[in-house]
Amino acid sequence: MEQGQGGRIPPDHPRFRSLVVRERLARCAAEGVVSLEGLTAHGRGEAFDYLLGEKTTASALEAEKAAAALLLAAGRPVISVNGNTAALCAKQVARLQEACRARVEVNLFHRTPERMEKVTCLLERQGATVERGEAERLLPLSHDRGLCLRQGIYAADVVLVPLEDGDRCQALRDMGKTVIAIDINPLSRTARAASLTIVDELTRALPHITRFCRELGMDEAAALARSYDNRAFLRGALEEMKERLSHALD
Amino acid sequence: MEQGQGGRIPPDHPRFRSLVVRERLARCAAEGVVSLEGLTAHGRGEAFDYLLGEKTTASALEAEKAAAALLLAAGRPVISVNGNTAALCAKQVARLQEACRARVEVNLFHRTPERMEKVTCLLERQGATVERGEAERLLPLSHDRGLCLRQGIYAADVVLVPLEDGDRCQALRDMGKTVIAIDINPLSRTARAASLTIVDELTRALPHITRFCRELGMDEAAALARSYDNRAFLRGALEEMKERLSHALD
């Protein structure tokens, strides 16, 4: 098995930063935290981020504020974490957990006990408190994607799903939950199925949500949680991408 | 190291086909043909293909015809093959080689003797004739990307580069070569630096080019090789993507 080519990216390469992040994910794949399919998923995200100009748009920032409001106003918020999320921002997950007092549950598409343990340990090392217990097949989905914890995602009223599978996002919605997705692809099934969609890159989005959790008062949060317009957020992202495509040949 | 999760993709998943291709690449990564970074690059391609509607557009088909013309009219055409290209379509490379009598040279971003051998063998098993020899640093690039064969890419007048690095594409152009890129990202540096850019998914593009190589007469090829409009091809792709983003919320 070929490993990430540590230190072999030429610093003069115009996409140096992007290549270094890829290399980090490759290393996490070699360690078993990230699945090989997760590397491909990351690439899809890179492409959409490129179309966004690799920055948080005004509408995404609004969505991040609404996400903080939903988390603060929730009775039982849960942050669902997969391998890529843990590899890219375990520490930011821990900080957000602290700011909004959510539970953190590990949920993997390619689930093995070993990977569950590795991802859990990575989060814990960065300061997160992670739910543990016997997962049950509580979501109406084939495959291990249907597994979750009774006291975690199953009992949640608001679930934050960074980098989620569209099928699973829909299943959570069908169960009546408020689902906040962080998905840089505004066309994805996840983006369309979620109650609130943050079209932004994960490592930019989480610190913003955390900051808003600290800044928002409870009354303001409750009001915003009732009044946000998700369609406007999606439209904002699509317009930004179209704009970029329009000027590509300038 | 986690392997591709053979047979664990649920067939009822709406993105089943895409997940199966990803799994295949993951398997090739586990075998050392595809680099881990190559998996991420594939994901980027998936995203742009999604924006194209996962089909060959009219302008891409025109570009594929022009590519066939350039290859037929060339004095010394070379097809440059990397790990992802070999993993996805070794057989189609062999067929194209037969149709346009090009040389095939393996050229890897993450280059090791073992990977060079694995990719070469994979191509040969599918019927391609692959250049072998001592690579020299003949391209003005840092890193092993500067390596190529004197009788191969260095001596070529026309080089087909599926899935190429932008830096390397530019270096080949600076050497006066005609570069045909297959790049589904019309915004990439490769797409902009190439003499001719095919904005299409690789496994769709190669059979089209092969068919045109068989159909075009030499006079027709020579005329088309002089008259194509690459800017129009790029504009066609960008318009298609904008159109898709425009109707995303319908």
pLDDT digits (tens, 9 = 90+) for B97-128: 999 999 999 999 889 999 999 999 999 999 99
B3 near A CB under 8 A = yes
Cα separation, A185 vs A198, in Å, equals 9
Cβ pair A1, B112 in contact under 8 A: no
Contact list in B for residue A1 (CB cut-off 8 A) is 1, 29-30, 32
Contact list in B for residue A14 (CB cut-off 8 A) is 166-167, 189
Contacts of B229 (CB under 8 A, 6+ apart): none
State the amino acid at position A7 in one-letter form.
G
Question: What is the phi-psi region of residue A101: left when phi exceeds 0, alpha when psi lies from -120 to 50, beta otherwise?
Answer: left
Cα separation, A63 vs A97, in Å, equals 18
Query: Tell me, what's the pLDDT at A195?
Result: 97
Contacts of A136 (CB under 8 A, 6+ apart): A147, A148, A149, A150, A154
Query: Tell me, what's the pLDDT at A2?
Result: 35
DSSP 8-state class, residue A227? H
User: B43, A48: Cβ pair inside 8 Å?
Assistant: no
Cβ pair A34, B1 in contact under 8 A: no
Q: How far is CA B93 from the centre of its chain?
A: 10
Interface test with B, best of A37, A190, A250 (most B CBs within 10 A): A37
Mean pLDDT, chain A cut into blocks of 10 residues (250 residues total):
49 75 85 88 92 94 98 98 94 98 94 94 98 93 87 97 88 97 93 96 96 97 97 95 89
Cα separation, A245 vs B89, in Å, equals 29
Per-residue confidence at B71, pLDDT binned at 50, 70, 90?
Answer: very high
Query: Tell me, what's the pLDDT at B133?
Result: 93
In this model, does residue B1 exceed pLDDT 60? no
Cα separation, A185 vs B15, in Å, equals 15
Cα separation, B211 vs B92, in Å, equals 11
In this model, does residue B6 exceed pLDDT 90? no
Tokens 């992670």, residue?
A: A130
Burial class of residue A173, CB neighbours in 10 A (0-12, 13-18, 19+): middle
Q: Which residues pair with B104 in a beta bridge?
A: B79, B130
Query: Tell me, what's the pLDDT at B4?
Result: 36
For chain B, the distance separating the N- and C-terminal CA atoms, rounded to the nearest angstrom, is 43
Report pTM.
0.86
